[in-house]
Structure 1
Amino acid sequence: MNIYSPLHPAAFFMIQRRQREIRRILATAYPDGVENVRLLETGCGNGQWLAEFQTFGFMPDKLAGIELDGKRADFAKLRILGADIRHGNAAELPWKEESFDIVFQSTVFTSVKDPETRKKIASEMKRVCRKDGFILWYDFVYDSPKNPDVSGVGKKEVSSLFAPWKCEFKKVTFAPPLTRAIAPYSVLTADILETLLPFLRTHIIAVIRQ
């Protein structure tokens, strides 16, 4: 089974844990619901995250995404009917300034190793985010020894990329290799270890505001 599929017990565990934190952030920011909140995902892939946001109450016509891979963008369009999905570059967003209440990214920056491109994407995310909105970040902190094409992004770099905006961080996600080794046999054990041993969490969620 594909280890990234939600049907895989380890992947499902990680999805549930990150959703718990995302739900907390959204409930705090929008206690009356998110039906009228506009959200953009940069690097939306096949629409997995946008589909997850729908479960929190986001309306399809308030969701948007941009994806560099044309086939994945086309799949996302079919998956989230009514959403504004574009095939394009996150460093050149085709939307006007302050178009969205939330601008979200997940594991985009760790896939972009060029520092200047990272800066451009961050600048574009700030440009299209409304002054009273926020940027929502989910990405891993450490380099992957098995994948030289990615590079971890720590808190210091996130703060630098989005300066002078203020960042609030929380470490999340029990180390994926450990999750895959443990969760298929005992979700409870994985849950306890993630809770009690925060140094084994490999990702950060950040809320970034002006």
Structure 2
Amino acid sequence: MNDKTLAPEPRAVSARYARRDAAHDAQHYSLYASASALQAQHERLRAMRQLWRAHGWQSLAGLHITEAGCGTGGNLQDLLRLGADPARLHGLELLPERAQAARLRLPTTVAVLEGDALQAAIAPGSQQAVLAFTLFSSILDTDFRSALARQMWQWVAPGGGVLVYDFVVDNPRNPDVQGVPLAEVRRLFPHARITSRRLTLAPPLARRLPAPLLAPAAMLLPFARTHRLTWAVKTLNPSP
């Protein structure tokens, strides 16, 4: 999709990601190169598994799951490792080059859809889980953020939910992102039953620590955790 065909906020998000990709060191996010990135991923996967097992899901097999803003497919790969069925996974990605990278990484039965998520052909009530990982923090327009949250909520079947992973504080060095505290998640999903936990040792701190100290530091310094994983559940008798 050409940027000129996008609505103003998706077009702005595309420009923000382009600036971010140009400025950031890819090694910081490489699971092979960065011990802190690997530690954060392992912590997040454990938390996801715990949340979903507490929700009553003994397996991800048979569940329909969509990720909005799937990037190059890393989170979808993690879902496959946790037992999700590739034919029941969808990835939605705004940026063409990232969507193409996801298609190359993932099994061909995983559907990767390119373009504005508000226009995605996902049937209402068809998904057991919708993921938004570091997505809302990149959307600075409040109305568009709310519209996307409403759309995601419509995709979720009763008994399922939206899983939001995002940082909770503003980054003074990056005006292109905005923290998403728990109060904002509650505003975006006002009818949800919320379960949430703080995760992820502050990346600037984590990158300075030796690998053996990362897990203990994450446990002993809860005030230094900068992200939150929130499971927003649509109850079996949902409000409108």
TM-score normalised by structure 1 residue count: 0.94
Q: What do residues 34-89 of structure 1 show as CA deviations (whole Å, max 9, x unaligned)?
A: 11011000000110100011110011101101100011111212222211110011
What is the deviation of 1:197? 1.8
Q: Which has the higher helix share?
A: 2
Aligned to 1:170: 197
Q: Which residue of 2 aligns with 1:120?
A: 147
Aligned to 1:6: 31
Aligned twin of 2:220:
196
CA distance in 1, matches of 2:119, 2:177: 21
Instruction: Render the CA deviation track for 1:15-51: whole Å, top value 9, x for unaligned.
Output: 1111111121233335431110110000001101000
Alignment RMSD (CA, Å): 1.3
1:33 aligns with 2:36: no
Q: Would the alpha carbon gap of residues 186 and 74 (structure 1) be closer, same or farther in structure 2, given more than 3 Å must change?
A: closer
State the one-letter code of the partner of 2:80.
Q
Q: Does 1:208 align with 2:232?
A: yes
Bigger mean CA offset, 100-109 vs 78-87: 78-87
**TM-score relative to the length of structure 2:** 0.83
SS at match of 1:64: strand
Which residue number corresponds to residue 129 of structure 2? 102
Match of 1:157 among 170, 179, 184: 184
**1:158 counterpart SS class:** helix
SS in structure 2 at match of 1:34? coil
Specify whether residues 2 and 75 from structure 1 end up closer, same or farther in structure 2 by C-alpha distance, changes over 3 A only: same
Matched, 1:86 2:113: yes
CA deviations 1:135-186 (Å, max 9, x no partner) are: 111000011122110000111111011112221110111111111010xx24
CA distance in 1, matches of 2:157, 2:233: 10
Within 1, Cα distance between the matches of 2:81 and 2:53?
Answer: 13
Render the CA deviation track for 1:73-117: whole Å, top value 9, x for unaligned. Answer: 112122222111100112333211011100111000001111011
Match of 1:133 in 2: 160
Structure 2 counterpart of 1:24, from 39, 42, 50:
50
What 5-or-longer segments of structure 2 have no aligned partner? Answer: 1-25, 235-240
The code of the aligned residue for 1:194 comes to A
Equivalence for 1:51: 77
Structure 1 residue runs of 5 or longer lacking an equivalent are: none
Q: SS where residue 36 of structure 1 aligns?
A: coil
CA contact (8 A) 2:36 2:211 kept: no
